A = this chain, B = another copy of it.
Amino acid sequence: MNVDVRDTETKIKEAARKVFLAQGYERTKIRQIADEAGVNLALVNYYFRSKEQLFKSIYAETFAQFLGQMVLLLNEETPLEVKIWRIVDRYTDFIVANPLIPGFILSEAQANDGAFFKEMNARGKLKESVFRRQLLEEAEKKTIRPVDPMQVIVTIMSNVIFPVMARPIVSYIGSFDETGFRAFMESRKQIVPEMIMAYLRAG
């Protein structure tokens, strides 16, 4: 009979995640979260004390997911060129499947001037990545040009994330429907790695 067996706390959290991601902190009302979860309004505060605390727990989780996925890919033990292809491919899939995450993280990060993710060790995780070491080593061996690894990482993220964040504009200008947009992103899986490799090999 379709009885929802998840416990109340879980239901609230999942509903909150859905609504916060779609609308951001300010626009979201806790009544909406309660409705979405199918629970009484008062229970939200009973379990999470306040809207802000509920938000923070969701933000922390989401940011960890966002960064964790990237760190995972950066640390794979694969030769450089194959790896660039893989990172773009996999991160595109991740972002297309979770298109609201980047905007959520960035807009709320700006509202709080990045106070949130300073607590997590985002810096170390990216600075000590295998990918970084590979870029430096290959440059040393002259198989690619010398390059700031940070520039390469930012370039990959830009090319994967921005089109999804700007999807309303991109889809409107390109006259894309759902399928058209997906095809556009699929094409980028080829273009972006080729472009980066062409740059690294030239010069």
Contacts and interface: CB of A to CB of B under 8 A. Distances in A.
Nearest to A191: B151
Interface of A: 23-24, 26-27, 103, 106-107, 109-111, 113-114, 117-118, 122-123, 126-127, 148, 150-151, 154-155, 157-159, 161-163, 165-166, 168-175, 184, 187-188, 191-192, 194-196, 198-199, 201-203
B165 A106 contact: yes
A171 to B, nearest CB: 8
Nearest to A171: B114
Q: Which of A159, A188, A195, A199 neighbours the largest number of chain B CB atoms within 10 Å of its CB?
A: A195
A155 B202 contact: no
Contact of A188 (B103, B151, B170, B198): B151
Nearest to A123: B173
A128 to B, nearest CB: 11
Contact of A114 (B23, B159, B161, B168): B168
A172 B26 contact: no
Contact of A199 (B118, B157, B195): B195
A38 B82 CA distance: 58
B198 A166 contact: no
